Structure 1
């Protein structure tokens, strides 16, 4: 039996308000793997900033961290998650890893208990910095190999990060950008294994928008600043054709976005629709023409490929995970969000092209669907199995 201990800070932890709607891709990946190989077993070690009673007075986030730190486990989507509060600083200072080591020493009995009870055969660190550092230390003590997925590699490129990567048994990139970044740090082989998407998203039916029919835009995301939804709304002021832009999701930017919509007089055209269950997305996507999410930074949002599977071309951002996978003007469009004026011009030019050229939209829709099929779980799962079994 192969037992994987996953070390991560990326889980939808219900006790943390800012985390409860976190991407659940790790749990989804586990389910897909175990549905095809019953011999696998997963355990999660979720690390988060350690807070004390003083820090808990400063914000709701630190109060939530403090309360969470009083527990040893959390229940997330029916899964028991092991908790590891860690002394973390917001900036990368020279003694940051020393603080993490101190945290591991203080929690050595907890870690020992996990290792003796679960007896993992491999450790999977879900980022190149803290996760990988923790994995490396546990690996050295218990003589168990570890795998590193290169999340955060563009943010942390110091000597310790390189050491974390070099000591790993295997390295995983989930985007072409990570592959490029990894080449600057290591000569080791890097496995490209992106997120998979469920077969339900391949129920593609070609949509033919009639002349002068409104252009239907959609985004599905957490409502946070880096998604740049506000820039999309502002840009839509300049689009003179008929359209509707529906925004699905919840998050801290919701009130600000609602106010922006009201201030610009765009109610009815731009709509905040609230949270939607993932299993309802295939049917929903089939009612739209274009998926819009120009977030930055973005590792590799699964929702792009879910939308493309349903035949929606996407608008994404240059220099993010999807850049290098899709070709501009084929399965979607890549824009620059750093210059708001340039973004608005590019965005409106794209909408104008699709509105005026039904043939282009049809061709891009087919290309998006065909491309997304290469990200089915039937394609992705064997790569993970080979990785964990060291085949």
Structure 2
């Protein structure tokens, strides 16, 4: 089977790193060949608003990201009209659907272009909804009118869309390398040593939706007898605001902001921590949660978003309302005051079902099953 993948959520150059753009979809796509699916190309649309005074130059280039050919191209979005492909755009799209059995689109813009192709050239497509799709439900409705089926990137997105009447055929989850998973014995050693200090960590792009400001407020509400440290790894638009808040709350001696670190360093820091916390909303999925579970951390995530469904509250981690500092504080106190042996054992057992191999296998099986339905 030959497929074309259309998504904005993909690296467009070899120099890009996970700090520039997520590689989560790439990890799924790059493994499809092992399951009999040939990815002829990934089309990465660059999305510009057309104005006569526009100074940005259109782009149109191809590169290889590992074994996957990626073509980055500007498509103009007209005010109020949405995408209005030019004659050259139509020629480009027609050339790229030759010999294609199925299109798989991710993100709203990918779905919109796939629906235009289906309408013009009668090439079927499946759309994979991410957290961003939830912000554009009217657009998703138009995409769904043309799509063969709708998938979701997490259980929480699936539940949300189905509550609005969008039928979702399955979940395309992400996975991590199996070798990253620590043994239950090593994870429990850390649990036994937490009597000295509760080591808390967050690893993410520093954006408002990560709700780390709420975590900081929650830490000020913790029982004063709990010794704790908090390490924030990552960079982004919220860094300066978080640094100012840390100072205002008087937490400078107990909170470290390390900036961006390579993945290997992040994993090392997780393996020295007791708790990974990231109450992100909206959040599609987040590989950092899986990496934290694999590292033996107790994970605290946002109820109803991203990791909800993988993490089950008080079973293999904790779920909190994303903007409720009181709930975050209570979860941290629970981790400190009660043994987490069962939570950690369940977490390690869970993460073994979320390896990269299992994720790609699931992605391929869903594509194959629903391409012929």
Residue 103 of structure 1: which of 75, 79, 85 is its match?
85
Does residue 199 of structure 2 align to residue 216 of structure 1? yes
1:108-153 CA-to-partner distances (Å, cap 9, x unmatched) read 233233334xx432211102x3321210111233332211102234
1:205-235 CA-to-partner distances (Å, cap 9, x unmatched) read 2223436411011111101111111221232
Residue 347 of structure 1: which of 289, 311, 328 is its match?
328
1:274-296 CA-to-partner distances (Å, cap 9, x unmatched) read 22223444433211101110111
Whole-Å separation in 1 of the counterparts to 2:12 and 2:208? 21
Whole-Å separation in 2 of the counterparts to 1:39 and 1:103? 29
Unaligned runs of 5+ in 1: 57-65, 90-94
Give RMSD over aligned pairs.
2.9
Residue 83 of structure 1: which of 60, 72, 76 is its match?
72
Contact 1:153 1:181 in 2 (8 A): no
Superposition pairs of residues 301-380 of structure 1, within 5 angstroms: 301-338=286-323, 343-357=324-338, 359=339, 361-380=340-359
1:301-356 CA-to-partner distances (Å, cap 9, x unmatched) read 12112211222221111221322442211222111234xxxx22222222222112
- Larger relative contact order (CA 8 Å, sep ≥ 6): 2
Does residue 122 of structure 2 align to residue 143 of structure 1? yes
Match of 1:72 in 2: 60
Contact 2:210 2:279 in 1 (8 A): yes
Paired residue secondary structure (1:379)? helix
Residues 77 and 280 of structure 1: CA distance in aligned 2, closer, same or farther (over 3 Å): farther
1:8-40 CA-to-partner distances (Å, cap 9, x unmatched) read 1213456999x9622111112223334x34762
Paired residue secondary structure (2:322)? coil
TM-score, normalisation: structure 2: 0.85
Whole-Å separation in 2 of the counterparts to 1:195 and 1:211? 30
Match of 2:218 in 1: 235
Whole-Å separation in 1 of the counterparts to 2:182 and 2:31? 19
Residues 20 and 246 of structure 1: CA distance in aligned 2, closer, same or farther (over 3 Å): closer
Whole-Å separation in 1 of the counterparts to 2:7 and 2:117? 14
Residues 122 and 280 of structure 1: CA distance in aligned 2, closer, same or farther (over 3 Å): farther
Q: Which runs of 4+ in 1 moved over 6 A?
A: 14-17
Whole-Å separation in 2 of the counterparts to 1:224 and 1:75? 29
Contact 2:37 2:364 in 1 (8 A): no
Residue 123 of structure 1: which of 103, 109, 114 is its match?
103
Question: Alpha-carbon deviation of 1:260?
Answer: 2.3
Match of 2:149 in 1: 170
Contact 1:12 1:76 in 2 (8 A): no
Question: Alpha-carbon deviation of 1:55?
Answer: 4.6
Residue 273 of structure 2: which of 288, 303, 308 is its match?
288
**Residues matched between the structures, number:** 361
Contact 1:312 1:369 in 2 (8 A): no
Unaligned runs of 5+ in 2: none
Whole-Å separation in 2 of the counterparts to 1:6 and 1:28? 13
Question: Alpha-carbon deviation of 1:53?
Answer: 7.2
Residues 230 and 6 of structure 1: CA distance in aligned 2, closer, same or farther (over 3 Å): same
